[in-house]
């Protein structure tokens, strides 16, 4: 095929892909698999926590046939610090350590199994917990900048018994 036959400018609307909208997981309780990413960034140390649905335990207000599919993922982006050592600041000038707090809460939930004696570094805990399963209670919140944009928020994470 030549470029001319593949050029979407010469195609019709039906030939274009539909825009995929981001949909958070509905608020509820889930059995979730953990995976971590540490993307490269020139300015910040960033950790992404990905929680993938293994089982829907309780999703109030959602019919069972509308539960999120197994494997659907909620990603939590956490900027932990600036690489230049300067503090991250809110527009008000206050220190922004909210993502560090979120990261700490996740690691505290994982510590009884993956760091019971408290000797592991945060990086080692990430590596040790890769692929683990947790029970998560997730909420949905609106973005402060755009109330139509909805995101998941971790209310609690616990280790299965």
Q: What is the pLDDT of residues 9-55, one digit of tens each?
A: 888 888 888 888 889 999 999 999 999 999 999 999 999 999 999 99
Contact 92, 58 (CB under 8 A): no
14 found inside a domain:
no
Q: What's the total number of domains in the chain?
A: 1
10 found inside a domain:
no
Output 127-132 pairs: Cβ under 8 A, ≥24 positions apart.
Answer: 129/34, 129/36, 130/34, 130/35, 130/36, 131/33, 131/34, 131/35, 132/33, 132/34, 132/159
11 found inside a domain:
no
15 found inside a domain:
no
Enumerate the β-bridge partners of residue 44: 82
* Domain enclosing residue 26, as ranges: 20-158
3 found inside a domain:
no
Enumerate the β-bridge partners of residue 28: 138
- For residue 5, the model assigns a pLDDT of 52
95 found inside a domain:
yes
pTM of the predicted protein model: 0.85
99 found inside a domain:
yes
Q: How far apart are CA 108 and CA 104, in angstroms?
A: 6
Residue 137 has φ and ψ, to the nearest 5°, of -105, 110
């Amino acid at each position: 095929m030549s470029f001319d036959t593949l050029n979407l400018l010469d195609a019709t609307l039906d030939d274009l892909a539909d825009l995929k909208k981001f949909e958070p997981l509905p608020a509820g309780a889930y059995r979730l698999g953990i995976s971590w990413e540490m993307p490269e960034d020139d300015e910040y140390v960033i950790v992404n926590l990905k929680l993938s649905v293994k089982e829907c335990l309780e999703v109030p207000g959602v019919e069972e046939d509308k539960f999120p599919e197994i494997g659907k993922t909620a990603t939590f982006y956490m900027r932990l610090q600036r690489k230049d050592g300067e503090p991250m600041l809110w527009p008000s000038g206050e220190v922004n350590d909210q993502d560090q707090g979120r990261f700490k809460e996740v690691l505290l939930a994982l510590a009884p199994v993956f760091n019971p004696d408290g000797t592991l570094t945060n990086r080692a805990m990430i590596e040790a917990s890769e692929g683990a399963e947790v029970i998560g209670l997730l909420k949905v919140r609106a973005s402060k900048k755009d109330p139509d944009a909805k995101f998941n928020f971790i209310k609690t994470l616990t280790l299965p018994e």
